[in-house]
Amino acid sequence: MSQTFYKKGFLALAVSAALGVSAFAQADIKFGVAGPMTGANASFGEQYMRGAQAAADEINAKGGVNGEKIVLVKGDDACEPKQAVAVANRMVDQDKVAGVVGHFCSSSTIPASEVYSDAGVIAITPGSTNPAVTERGLSAMFRMCGRDDQQGIVAGDYIVDVLKGKKVAVLHDKDTYGQGLADATKAQLTKRGVTPVLYEGLTRGEKDFSAVVTKIRAAGADIVYFGGLHPEAGPLVRQLREQGLKDVKFMSDDGIVTDELVTTAGGPQYVDGVYMTFGADPRMLPESKAVVEQFRKSGYEPEGYTLYAYASVQTLAAGFTGAKSTKGEDAAKWLKANAVKTVMGEKTWDAKGDLKVSDYVVYQWDKDGKYHQLEKQK
């Protein structure tokens, strides 16, 4: 050890002692929060940030994680895979995050998670449902949501059993998430004896769906299922209604769980009656009551993925606290062996990082532009 280093170390100890501060006080622990903070899907990024920040504030008020305060680092991937990788590299190399809540679009989560895995950083996604997220053998990749192959079964069964669909048009946005979910739903429909009369891809960012509406009309579809997000779902359902297909039922997925669907559709009159699949509403759980009330007092309704992000931060904190470590691999091992009490109830994960219990149900939008969970069919 050089004399210069020794003198500097001694001086630091002396200053710390004089200030009454431990020389070995721990630094903050950083959690990245990654998703679409800008762009067409920014409403989901806002849900992530609001939920994550509220959880971090609560945990910090109770002493933090192993004595360290949680500091959140925002990462905007705009649901673009290349940008997601850049965000991941920055969080690992520059921000030195210990864990990540993210991403949102599966097409972003999949490549970004490779970066986290190589760096030994644990990640948990509140909203990426494509099976490939947890099927690649990454030991520290988790979900707070279900999978497309689970969600697609619920959607397909509901279309057959409840909506009595005979001629179903299946559409998707050509993205990893949207097409994956459309394919899962199509597979379940086929299994139940309903072969889709139309299977068509849209382009994300498109606004004019006249051509596909014409195909839907020609196919005589009584139900349209769309795998994708609200920026395309809104204009699509509006154009169906405006072009005379008012009696055709419209169903989508957890990519439209935001009030922005009403905006992109052009008003609540166009989303009235729209069905969608999503996890059972966490706002209705007794575990979330106090947190939901706090959000509402602040003037914010914790819709969509807000509580999913909240629970994800709770999960990361529990993993690091339980493992008594800041290493992602240690936290991951602990989480796969222990249950975690969250704002969404008690959660457990399997060896892949998937939830052991998935709770997809069906919702319906009303004339006021609000969505409500429907009773489970027996």
User: Could you list the residue range(s) of the whole structural domain that residue 208 is in?
Assistant: 149-278+360-373
Per-residue pLDDT at 24: 37
Instruction: Give the Cα separation of 334 and 319 in Å (integer).
Output: 6
Are residues 263 and 288 both part of a single domain? no
For residues 265 and 292, membership in a common domain is answered with no
Pinpoint the alpha helices (H) of 225-371.
Answer: 230-242, 260-265, 268-271, 289-297, 306-323, 328-335
208 contacts 187 by C-beta, under 8 angstroms: no
SS3 256: helix
How far apart CA 306 and CA 276 sit, in angstroms, is 18
pLDDT in the model for residue 376: 66
- Tens digits of residue pLDDT in 324-359: 999 999 999 999 999 999 999 999 999 999 999 989
**188 plus 239 within the same structural domain:** yes
**In this structure, is residue 223 part of a structural domain?**
yes
In a domain, 313, yes or no: yes
Low-confidence residues in the chain, pLDDT < 70: 1-26, 376-378
Task: List residues bridging with 65 in a β-sheet.
Answer: 68
Greatest CA span in the chain, whole angstroms?
85
Q: Which two tokens stand for residue 337?
A: 């062996």
* Structural domains counted in the chain: 2
Q: What is the CATH number of the domain that holds 233?
A: 3.40.50.2300
Sign of CA dihedral 251, 175, 328, 89: negative
Give the model's pLDDT for residue 19.
40
Asked if residue 364 and residue 216 are part of one domain, the reply reads yes
My answer on whether 241 and 364 are in the same domain is yes
Closest CA to 305 of 360, 258, 371: 258
Residues 156 and 268 in one domain: yes
Q: Residue 3 domain-assigned?
A: no
Contact 114, 216 (CB under 8 A): no
Stated pTM of the model? 0.86
**295 falls within a domain:** yes
Is 77 among the domain residues? yes
3-state DSSP helix/strand/coil % of the chain, to nearest 5: 45, 15, 35
Q: Is the dihedral of CA 129, 133, 138, 141 positive or negative?
A: negative
Q: Are residues 293 and 240 in the same domain?
A: no
* Judgement on whether residues 177 and 270 belong to the same structural domain of the protein: yes
Does residue 68 sit in the same domain as residue 136?
A: yes
